[in-house]
Structure 1
Amino acid sequence: MEIESYKEKYKYRNKFTRGLFFLVGDAFSLCLSALLSYIILFPFTDIVRTFPLEHTLLIIGSILAAMAVFRMYLVNWKYTGLRDLVRIILAIVLGGGLSFGIAPFYQEMGNYEYVFTALVLIHGVLLISGFRISKRLYHEFISRSKNSKKYTIIFGGESEGEQILRDILKNNQWDLSVYGIFDDRVLPGLRMHGVRVLGGKKEMIDHIRRFPVELLIVAFPEMPKKDLKEIIDEIKEIRPEMEIKILPSFHSLTDDPVGVKHIRNVSIEDILGREPVKIDINSIRASITGKTVLVTGAGGSIGSELVEQCAKLKPTRLVALDIDETELFYLVNEFEGSETEVIPCVANITDESKIDQVFARFQPDIIFHAAAYKHVPMMESFPDEAIKVNIGGTRLIASLACKHKVDKFVMVSTDKAVNPANVMGATKRVAEEICMARNGTGPTKFISVRFGNVLGSRGSVVPIFIEQINNGGPVTVTDPEMKRYFMTIPEAVLLTMQAGSMGDGGEVFVLDMGEPVKILDMAKDLIRLHNLEPDKDIQIEITGLRPGEKLYEELLNAEEGVLETEHEEIFKAICSRRTDEEELETKISDLLAHLKKGKNEYIRDHLKSLVPTYTYKERKKVNGTMTPQKGKSLFVEG
């Protein structure tokens, strides 16, 4: 209430001081006009005349009154235009006429008085108009370089906003000119590096309606995503073409000083999903610093982020292993010249001889196992490959980890391992079982971390939607009711590292994914972020569920519960069913043996014996041949 009261007072105070400023400026211009007129007439008079003070005061008073009638004290100085100049001339003419009508009642009017008055009016038009248009002339001509910069406003007047403003003022290369700061947390009227705080969110929206704002910088990293989405939606309705950039929350283990280089375009991650995660950097640092870290699947979305975050914590050695040599090449190039050397290793996690050599050479202390096949529809068509890599590869890596006395083995799992309806989910569930069964059989502590979809990963729905939007549509959604849990890649990786540092072995950790999001709503938000209208500029097409897809994903089995941990966003699953190691090995060996013999038609039945909660639809045979699985080629990452 106090802030609102202060803002209301400031509103009227600002209105009064602006009017008083123009009044004083106009009066001074008229005084100068009268002085110039007297000097001009002085050589042409027969007798020495004193300055006509009373007549001058009458002229000034009449003109100022006329200016008030024409509401010339409620205008914006910087945006004085042709209409305002016309009103100034009319006001001066009216004021001059008024003075001509009043003057004869108190003095004798002669040729000198009439000529003096006319000259004052002419000079008044020139000087007052010049005064009123001076600020616009300054910005458009004298300060042309500044005027050519983007008209920018900043939402966020605390530490981050101040640092960004200072960076803009300090470095001309940004080509930005800040005209105001808005923040409900800061009292309006204050100045920051010469730029005034003009109010809060409401005042900012009004400012965008009235002035040609080209760029809004949201320097408010802790702003709730739903509030940011409301602001963006409101601005897009007013000015769809306006550029909006944000200073994101730093999902990083080390932060640079805030500057313009950190701001970026608004992405779907900024308005979707959970709020920024909190991490205990000290516990993560203790588990990484000075250790040899091996990341499998290092060329993938999760794997490359694991490499990037681990590199900041100065491990003794950081080994990046992947079968994709191209992605590995790009990853290693990013770390050229950095303090931490990333050692590339091109290898297949199903190649026992090669992986054994890698372990023997580098002797890793901690393994982050992110290598896996994750694309649901593709793995429905090639279930044998999912089993070879997700099950066979995990079993091999886990076995060698025990052999080489690795301290910790952290496996990246998925929500699709819960009551799986597809091959990918079932194989990841078996991989979790392998980790739990292996734990305690040697010195290695095995930990699994389960989470949902990650935004922006290779093959995920977001880049595919963006590509479809750029191509003019349509955007394809499989079902209007489909929902998924989403998390950004940095969030998922930092929480995975956090869970790995917390685990004592044998746990399946479950990340708090927040609320599930409708895929249809996500598609509409993405279209709006591209300044387009859903179903008007870009059509949305419903294609139907694809093989192995569910409308909803779960993070826990029906028979499971969770225990809280010291971290509010990480839970520990209570896994009531754990397969005996010997029984698990026997079943996996039988499954892999069937693959070698080419008996792929029995794969799903064998998976069902390993994962009783796995459900799938039988494909029909036509003339003795399995029918192909139908579905669009829109692959949504696990």
Structure 2
Amino acid sequence: METEIFNKRYKLLNKYTRGLVLLTGDFIAIVLSCLISYQLLAVLLVDQFSFIIGYSALMTLSILTGLGLFKMYVVTWRYTGLRELIRLILGITAGGLFTVVISNILWEPGNTELNYMALVLANSILLIGAFRISKRVLIELVDMPGRDKKHAIILGGGTEGEQILRDIRRNSSWNLFVNALFDERSIPGVMIHGVRCRGGLQDMYQYLESSPTEMMIVAYPEIPKSELKDIIDNVKSIRPKMEIKILPSFHHLTDDPVGVKNIRDISIEDILGRDPVKLDMNSIAASISNKTVLISGAGGSIGSELVRQCVKLGPSQLIALDIDETELFHVENELAESGIDVIPCVASVIDEHKIDQILNYYRPDVIFHAAAYKHVPMLESYPEEAVKVNIGGTRILAELACKYMVDKFVMVSTDKAVNPTNVMGATKRVAEEICMSYNGDCVTKFISVRFGNVLGSRGSVVPLFMEQIKNGGPVTLTDDRMQRYFMTIPEAVLLVMQAGSMGKGGEVFVLDMGEPVKIIDMAHDLIRLHGLEPGKDINIEVTGLRPGEKLFEELLNAEEGVLKTEHVEIFKAICSSKLTKLELEMKIMNLFNLIDKGATASLRTSLQEIVPTYSFKDELRNMGLGRRELGVHKND
């Protein structure tokens, strides 16, 4: 308590002390302006000294009052800029006008006195302006390159680069000295805050070869990812240990001015995947705003991002459902200040009674079903769990969505549902079939959305590689030919919401994931981004394909093909179900009967009856427990 009182008193004292210093400096500057002006007009004013004393006193009081009215005694001295100087001129001008009005009432001054006043005002602007900007000038003059400062360059000489450079010059705590700016769009030789723009990319590469530089800041938010990747590769080939920072694209920034606080370390998401897609945010917002939204799997990578994006669109309430109470706590805590009623519900999607209670109580308008088991090799060992959650959970939620007349049910699917070679993909394909079979039976519109891997999701390859790099390697991958489609989590989620807003019911949408990425190339990129060299600092080892893994994921050429939609990145899969709803129900019941009887060895064959395109290795055909029955152990 005493510390808090002391801090308040200190801040108050500091506030008034700063104002008093500025007031004193302004007073001295005005007095000097009067003396200089008097000396310049001394011949004309020789017989009017007593009048000039009174006139000068009035002007001094008027100018100080004008500066006070324009709040020039509550500004920060150190950060005085153009806005403050404009307010300063307005304050002095206001003081001059006040002087004219009062002097005409008291003295009726002539042309000589008015000339004197004009000189005083001009000199006051110069001297007070010089005083106000003196601290900033002093700091920037003293802030010269020293031995303890990191030498940096900025790629991007536009508005963003200028703002970041200015912020660096103001804040000595960053301990940086910017040597040069590079930008193809700028004229070589121009100076920005005392730093020269030295040309474009080729000039930058030549500069790095000959000049000691420890950091590069990419202040070019709209640069294409493919171009950025080439730049990073070239920079790292010249200086492998170079520290690289980046200013993210503007959809990650607030409306505040760009500054050092916006810069972060470059990540794999910045150079892989596609450039940001165009979205119809109005249609997405219309599908969420003022509605009750339920998100299953809300603690997971996709589910939690669905919660974040939905919150921005103003739902009346948002039910975040997940079996993992720890992750739900983190999501709730993160969004506590959002102003939206985020309601955590700890429940499993296979608990029919509990899910019935939740939907009956909250009556959601929209359901995003992201709850699922997704780890391919793990589910090869435990196929019964994949059936329970991915098939059973979807069936329960779909049936209850119909019962409580939910408007839209959007299921998050996977590219692994296309010609599946693993239990996870096969069960997600059955989940799609469930959604299609329920569509048309009730008012609920059922929509499925397939997409590939997302960068940084839990259990994905990127966090695994980063952990291996942190531990000194080796980085392990199953096959050096393996390729995958990748998308950032926010982009995937927004496209899922876009597809959901477009859907009329019964569709299986497929997201265009761009070009596939070789996993070994991703490993090389991650190692370089950590300032290390592949094969030298960190080794890469190939371990062989795991059960159920493919070398290449199929996505757009989905079995029977795809159709274009009004959105260039969203396609509609041609899916003609071979089973009626009753036949599908009977086969799903058979799966659960096999689980109840402990006959999990037959699950794969029964899944194949529902999904004819599902294929698996012969040695797994009669081994429902997969790795457990094959005798593969942790230490093998």
TM-score band, normalised by the shorter chain?
0.7 to 0.9
- Secondary structure of the 1:522 match is helix
2:279 and 2:621 map into 1 onto residues whose CA distance is: 52
Q: List runs of 5+ in structure 1 lacking aligned partners.
A: 1-137
1:197 aligns with 2:197: yes
1:494 and 1:409 map into 2 onto residues whose CA distance is: 16
- The CA deviation at 1:584 is 1.1
Q: Deviations over 1:47-67 (max 9, x none)?
A: xxxxxxxxxxxxxxxxxxxxx
Q: Deviations over 1:221-272 (max 9, x none)?
A: 2222222122112222222222111122355597655332222112122222
1:290 and 1:402 map into 2 onto residues whose CA distance is: 21
Select the structure of larger CA radius of gyration: 1
Partner of 1:21: none
2:241 and 2:309 map into 1 onto residues whose CA distance is: 36
Write out aligned runs for 1:507-526 (5 A). 507-526=507-526
1:545 and 1:622 map into 2 onto residues whose CA distance is: 20
Write out aligned runs for 1:95-106 (5 A). none
- The CA deviation at 1:541 is 1.2
Partner of 2:306: 306
Letter of the structure 2 residue corresponding to residue 527 of structure 1? I
Judge conservation of contact 2:411–2:449 (CA < 8 Å) in 1: yes
Partner of 2:488: 488
Q: Which stretch of the first structure deviates more once superposed, 375-384 or 441-450? A: 441-450
2:205 and 2:632 map into 1 onto residues whose CA distance is: 45
Letter of the structure 1 residue corresponding to residue 364 of structure 2? P
Q: Which stretch of the first structure deviates more once superposed, 219-228 or 146-155? A: 146-155
Q: Deviations over 1:74-111 (max 9, x none)?
A: xxxxxxxxxxxxxxxxxxxxxxxxxxxxxxxxxxxxxx
Partner of 1:275: 275
1:347 and 1:169 map into 2 onto residues whose CA distance is: 52
1:623 and 1:196 map into 2 onto residues whose CA distance is: 69
1:542 aligns with 2:542: yes
1:356 and 1:239 map into 2 onto residues whose CA distance is: 59
1:145 and 1:176 map into 2 onto residues whose CA distance is: 8
Letter of the structure 1 residue corresponding to residue 409 of structure 2? F
Partner of 2:590: 590
Judge conservation of contact 2:151–2:176 (CA < 8 Å) in 1: yes
Sequence identity (%): 66
Partner of 2:469: 469
Write out aligned runs for 1:496-515 (5 A). 496-515=496-515
Partner of 1:610: 610
- Secondary structure of the 1:345 match is strand
The alignment's TM-score, normalised by the length of structure 2, stands at: 0.74
Q: List runs of 5+ in structure 2 lacking aligned partners.
A: 1-137
Write out aligned runs for 1:394-543 (5 A). 394-543=394-543
Q: Which stretch of the first structure deviates more once superposed, 353-362 or 155-164? A: 155-164
Partner of 2:629: 628
Letter of the structure 2 residue corresponding to residue 628 of structure 1? E
2:624 and 2:181 map into 1 onto residues whose CA distance is: 72
1:255 and 1:419 map into 2 onto residues whose CA distance is: 45
- Secondary structure of the 2:413 match is strand
Q: Which stretch of the first structure deviates more once superposed, 264-273 or 495-504? A: 264-273
Letter of the structure 2 residue corresponding to residue 484 of structure 1? R
Instruction: Give the direction of change, closer, same or farther, for the CA distance of 1:322–1:262 in structure 2 (3 Å limit).
Output: same
Aligned residues: 497
2:556 and 2:413 map into 1 onto residues whose CA distance is: 12
Judge conservation of contact 1:421–1:550 (CA < 8 Å) in 2: yes
1:372 and 1:280 map into 2 onto residues whose CA distance is: 28
Instruction: Give the direction of change, closer, same or farther, for the CA distance of 1:439–1:543 in structure 2 (3 Å limit).
Output: same
Judge conservation of contact 1:543–1:632 (CA < 8 Å) in 2: no
Q: Deviations over 1:187-233 (max 9, x none)?
A: 22333344332211122222223333222111122222222122112
Letter of the structure 2 residue corresponding to residue 418 of structure 1? V
1:236 and 1:256 map into 2 onto residues whose CA distance is: 32
- Secondary structure of the 1:591 match is helix
1:631 and 1:250 map into 2 onto residues whose CA distance is: 48
1:235 and 1:418 map into 2 onto residues whose CA distance is: 39
1:623 and 1:515 map into 2 onto residues whose CA distance is: 36
- The CA deviation at 1:183 is 0.8
Q: Deviations over 1:533-553 (max 9, x none)?
A: 222222211111111111111
1:373 and 1:407 map into 2 onto residues whose CA distance is: 25
2:623 and 2:503 map into 1 onto residues whose CA distance is: 53
2:144 and 2:625 map into 1 onto residues whose CA distance is: 75
- The CA deviation at 1:169 is 3.9
1:632 and 1:535 map into 2 onto residues whose CA distance is: 29
Partner of 1:340: 340
RMSD over aligned Cα atoms: 2.7
Judge conservation of contact 1:484–1:517 (CA < 8 Å) in 2: yes
1:204 and 1:506 map into 2 onto residues whose CA distance is: 53
- The CA deviation at 1:341 is 3.2
Letter of the structure 1 residue corresponding to residue 331 of structure 2? L
Instruction: Give the direction of change, closer, same or farther, for the CA distance of 1:557–1:578 in structure 2 (3 Å limit).
Output: farther
- Secondary structure of the 1:405 match is coil
Letter of the structure 2 residue corresponding to residue 272 of structure 1? L
Instruction: Give the direction of change, closer, same or farther, for the CA distance of 1:549–1:632 in structure 2 (3 Å limit).
Output: farther
1:375 aligns with 2:371: no
1:185 and 1:593 map into 2 onto residues whose CA distance is: 67
Q: Deviations over 1:478-523 (max 9, x none)?
A: 1111111111111111111111111111111111111111111111
Instruction: Give the direction of change, closer, same or farther, for the CA distance of 1:623–1:170 in structure 2 (3 Å limit).
Output: closer
Q: Deviations over 1:354-376 (max 9, x none)?
A: 11111112111111111000000
Q: Which stretch of the first structure deviates more once superposed, 422-431 or 205-214? A: 205-214
- The CA deviation at 1:624 is 13
Letter of the structure 2 residue corresponding to residue 321 of structure 1? L
2:191 and 2:514 map into 1 onto residues whose CA distance is: 39
Letter of the structure 2 residue corresponding to residue 185 of structure 1? R
Judge conservation of contact 2:558–2:573 (CA < 8 Å) in 1: no
Letter of the structure 2 residue corresponding to residue 363 of structure 1? R
Judge conservation of contact 2:603–2:624 (CA < 8 Å) in 1: no
Write out aligned runs for 1:124-203 (5 A). 143=143, 148-203=148-203
2:496 and 2:442 map into 1 onto residues whose CA distance is: 23
Instruction: Give the direction of change, closer, same or farther, for the CA distance of 1:556–1:197 in structure 2 (3 Å limit).
Output: closer
Judge conservation of contact 2:225–2:275 (CA < 8 Å) in 1: yes
Partner of 1:358: 358
- Secondary structure of the 1:527 match is helix
Write out aligned runs for 1:378-393 (5 A). 378-393=378-393
Judge conservation of contact 2:605–2:621 (CA < 8 Å) in 1: no
Q: Deviations over 1:157-181 (max 9, x none)?
A: 2233233334334544444333332
Letter of the structure 2 residue corresponding to residue 330 of structure 1? H
Judge conservation of contact 2:140–2:170 (CA < 8 Å) in 1: no
Letter of the structure 2 residue corresponding to residue 200 of structure 1? G
